[in-house]
Amino acid sequence: MFKNYFKTAWRNILNNKFYAIINIAGLTVGLTFGLLILLWVNDEFSFDGFNKKAANIYQIDAQIGTGSSKQIWGGVPAPIGMHAVKDVPEVVSSVRIGQNYNYSVFRYKDKLLPGGNYGAFYTEPSLFKIFDFKLLKGDINKPFPDLHSIIITESTAKRFFGNADPIGKVLLADNKDNYTVAGVLADFPENSSFKADMLFSFEVVKKNFNNGYWKTAEQDWGDYFYQTFLLLRPGTSPRVVADKLTAIHRANQKETTVQYVMQSLQKIHLYNADGTPSGLQTVRIFLIVGILILIIACINYVNLSTARAMLRSKEVSVRKIIGAERTQLFAQFIVETALLFSIALVASFIAVKLLMPVYNNVSGKEMQFDLLDSNVWKVIGLTVVGTLIASSIYPAMLLSSFKPINALKGKLSLGVGNVVFRKTLVVTQFIFSIGLIISTLIINQQLKYIREKELGYDKSYVFSVGMGDIHKNYDGVRSELMSRPGVTDVTRAGDYIVNLGGSTGDTDWDGKETKRSFLIHPINVDKNYLNFFKLRFAEGSGFTGEKADSAHFILNETAVKEAGIKNPIGKRFKLHDWNGTIIGVVKDFHFASLKQKIEPAVFCYRPQDCWLMFVRTTGKDAPKAIRAVEEYSKKYNPAFPFKYDFMDDIYDSLYKSDVRSGTLFNVFAMIAVVISCLGLFGLVTYTAQVKVKEIGIRKVLGASVTNITAMISRDFLVLVALSLVIVTPIAWYAMAKWLQDYAYRIHIQWWVFALAGVSALIIAFVTISFQAVKAAMANPVKSLRSE
């Protein structure tokens, strides 16, 4: 029986090659991009899921500040991890992780290489007990035999040692400290929130601790630097643990207002520290887009199958007359759909395999389309079953329901309901397509706004270099650089202006209210830093380079507002242990992503703590300026590779994920339109076939090609226009929600919807008119000679 179904289905495909090709092409494109999107979504949702204890692992976050300046940090003081295990019964184990900024390069024999893309970290042996990271070589119970032990990943081992056994080999860090490889770690999974290239013992942090205020690292309650994870006992309330840790901290540091919160490991990747979604919204949008593309492909198949139902009515009727039951006919049409679907699925597998490298490059992933991977088959299974059911059931029910007598007499009609249903599907299809076009236009507008927005400073043609030992000879190097071609100015600082990192609440000022506190971003600068970046003063003046400047501060407008300081010039301000005077207020400038509101910042004259040199050049002479700086870098830092970064590149990296999302949206919108147009093309072809005699009569009576093309096109274009009317408010609401992620954003303009609508109408008209004109130009004699 099945063999007969298959043979009949195959013959039907061969006899209707044109429609088969359209159906297979639509399903292939839909399945290909639907699978690509859903594989990406599955990867995002799978983060940290490889950890068997993930449900009981939590990161401790610290809530700092009050009022509008309240923030939640992912770093906490070192003692919290120790006290959690010691004094909180609900905690099974803890691990502290802190980035190792002490070393930049490592040497093995003649190889001098950086640590890697993910960096080096200090950590504790409990890392391997809490997380399921695989230690391939080494003792999991004692991974760091001594303070000079280091654990490296497989990739790092290959970079330094090739295929040789790395255990026992010595790496020289920054030409000063030797570390012996004591373990080799399997490369961290791509879907791990924590990744590293090298791991050092946390005991090194304790041994090298040097702070005049706190005695030891285990007593330092002021440095919120360490990412700390806790393994809780099953059934434990995270809130109870957080409250106990808060009480412990406040008992050891009386004046603090810190409040600890717990963040589940399962809600780190796509969430902010306060539990609000960050990347989750983007993942949900892409999930919806993937499903929509699959739905559009299904609609194509359903539309074309139901539209062509009348052409197959006599075939169905003959089968019924000779004894075929409805269930058999139903099965026949399901097999036909399955056969078409199987061809499309094989083609889509090949396409996904070929497109995966390009897709990974655009999306920033390292996914593999491995048909032996069970996770891949989960996505494929859900996609295939869902799409097959959606595209096969209704056409099979319709085609198997014909009444033989009416069909053979030529009196069969699909009825008003089926025509309306088909038109509804066309409208639905273009609602999705136009919605994606609108979303793409708005996303691109926002990204353009980000690139072109006035930031409050000038970063053009500025590149940075880590100074190293140039620091000791900075004044002489700057003086010589200023005379070199292509160099227009030089300054130094302790951080990047495009993305200030650290913040503190350890401040005081004249008139400070008892319970008032806020977080401020300090940045150590040289005397000409503000002029270099062309920051504008609201009042006061800048640093002069005099010794007295070490007791001077310059605040931004937001800092003055948050502190509530009236007439700030000359007022006392204290940062940590530095008591000083406010000498200037700069106008607010954007020193972080535009997703964040401008926060308080303070400039301190601390040239001795500036480790970055900034050089301004011109577009034409940038290579000369870079070569000049490289000369001095090699002279003063011969053991370190020369590396520089342009501020524009660092700024762009803040929006890398947004740019990727925008690029992918462009592609997906185009794919949705292509699939919709494929279906529209098939429907117009069918309409022209059904109305071939009507077209012939109209031509004989004098109708022009334009009249006939308009007649065929009118109904379809009305449906596209209706789609625009329906989707406009939906798309406006969805994109308004998306834009809420940005503190600084565009206003959605009416012309976006008009442009999307006009584009859709033009694309639809071009698709329709190709076949409509062909039908209108056909010789009417051929269509009417049988009458």
Q: What are the pLDDT digits (tens) for 201-246?
A: 999 999 888 766 778 888 888 888 899 999 999 999 999 999 999 9
Smallest CA-to-CA distance from 94 within 63, 134, 125 is with 125
- CA–CA distances in Å: residue 569 to residues 87, 529, 560, 586: 47, 20, 10, 12
Could you give the CA distance from residue 341 to residue 345 in angstroms, rounded to a whole number?
Answer: 6
Nearest to 651 by CA among 602, 589, 606: 589
Residue 56 to residue 266: CA distance in whole angstroms: 9
Local confidence band at 778 (pLDDT 50, 70, 90 cut-offs): low
pLDDT at position 646: 92
Which of the 8 DSSP states describes residue 197? S
Considering only 74-78, 224-228, 437-441, 768-772, which range has the smallest mean pLDDT? 768-772
Cα–Cα distance, 112 to 106 (Å, whole number):
6
Q: What distance in Å separates the CA atoms of residue 1 and residue 569, rounded to the nearest whole number?
A: 93
- 458-496 tens-digit pLDDT: 999 999 999 988 988 999 999 999 999 889 999 999 999
Task: List residues bridging with 260 in a β-sheet.
Answer: 62
In this prediction, residue 665 carries a pLDDT of 78
What does the pLDDT look like over 137-150, one tens digit per residue?
A: 999 999 999 999 99
* pLDDT of 200 above 50: yes
Distance separating alpha carbons of residues 552 and 735, to the nearest angstrom? 46
Res 768: pLDDT: 75
Which residues, at least 6 apart from 26, have a Cβ–Cβ distance to it below 8 Å?
A: 297, 300, 301, 675, 678, 679
For residue 500, what are its two tokens?
Answer: 């200030």
What DSSP line would sit under 229-263, residue for residue?
EEEEPTT--HHHHHHHHHHHHHHHSTT---EEEEE
Residue 605's nearest CA partner among 494, 506, 518 is: 494
Q: What is the mean pLDDT of residues 614-635?
A: 91
Least confident of 180-194, 396-410, 442-456, 477-491: 396-410
* Of the candidates 666, 667, 679, the residue with the CA atom closest to the CA atom of residue 767: 679
Residue 72 one-letter amino acid: I
Q: What is the pLDDT of residue 310?
A: 56
State how beta strands 57-64 and 259-264 pair.
antiparallel
Label residue 222 exposed, middle or buried (CB < 10 Å: 0-12, 13-18, 19+).
middle
Rounded Cα–Cα distance for residues 129 and 111 (Å): 33
Q: Is residue 615 within 8 Å of residue 462, measured between CB atoms? A: yes
Between the alpha carbon of residue 204 and those of residues 135, 146, 472, 600, the distances in Å are 21, 9, 27, 34
More confident residue, 739 or 687: 739
Closest C-alpha to 716, from 684, 746, 686: 684
**Backbone φ and ψ of 492, nearest 5°:** -145, 155
Least confident of 220-229, 577-586, 619-628, 760-769: 760-769
Mean pLDDT of all residues in 386-415 = 58
Q: Read off the tokens for 153.
A: 């990943």
Tell me the average pLDDT across 181-196. Answer: 93
Are 535 and 491 in contact by the 8 Å Cβ rule? The answer is no
Do strands 601-605 and 521-525 pair parallel, antiparallel, or not at all (unpaired)? parallel
Residue 60 in contact with residue 76, Cβ under 8 Å? yes
Contact 245, 88 (CB under 8 A): yes
Residue 412, pLDDT > 50, answer: no
Per-residue confidence (pLDDT) for residue 401, from 0 to 100: 60
User: What distance in Å separates the CA atoms of residue 12 and residue 315, rounded to the nearest whole number?
Assistant: 11
Residue ranges of alpha helices (H) inside 527-655 are: 529-532, 557-563, 622-636, 647-653
Amino acid, res. 465: V
Q: What are phi and psi of 645, to 5 degrees?
A: -140, 135
Stretch 501-508: mean pLDDT, rounded? Answer: 79
Are 256 and 221 within 8 A, CB to CB? yes
Token duo for residue 772: 């409509």
Task: Give the integer Cα–Cα distance in Å for 677 and 763.
Answer: 8
Q: How far apart are CA 708 and CA 370, in angstroms?
A: 51
Angstrom distances, CA of residue 266 to CA of 188, 225, 270, 271:
17, 22, 9, 9
pLDDT over 90 (residue 154): yes
Per-residue burial over 306-339, b if 16 or more Cβ lie within 10 Å, else e, is bbbbbebbeebbebbeeebeeeebbbbbbbbbbb
Structure tokens at 709: 């093309």
How confident is residue 529, by pLDDT bands cut at 50, 70 and 90? very high
Question: Considering only CA atoms, which of 594, 666, 279 is closest in space to residue 442?
Answer: 666
Distance CA 190, CA 684 (A): 47
Residues 386-390: contacts with CB under 8 Å, at least 24 apart: 386/294, 387/27, 387/30, 387/31, 387/34, 387/294, 387/297, 387/298, 387/341, 388/337, 388/338, 388/341, 390/294, 390/295, 390/298, 390/302
pTM for the model? 0.79
Average pLDDT of the residues of the chain:
83
pLDDT band for 374, please (50, 70, 90 cuts).
confident
The answer to whether residues 725 and 757 touch, using CB atoms and an 8 Å cutoff, is: no
Chain mean position to CA 735: 17
* Cα gap 500→494, rounded to integer Å: 9
If you ran DSSP here, which 8-state letter would residue 217 be given? G
- For residue 311, the 8-state DSSP code is G
Task: Write the pLDDT tens digit of every residue in 306-335.
Answer: 666 555 655 666 666 666 566 766 676 777
- The amino acid occupying position 311 is L
> What percent of the chain is modeled with pLDDT above 70?
85
Give how far Cα 548 sits from Cα of 157, 426, 526, 553, Å.
51, 74, 13, 11
151 pLDDT tier (thresholds 50, 70, 90): very high
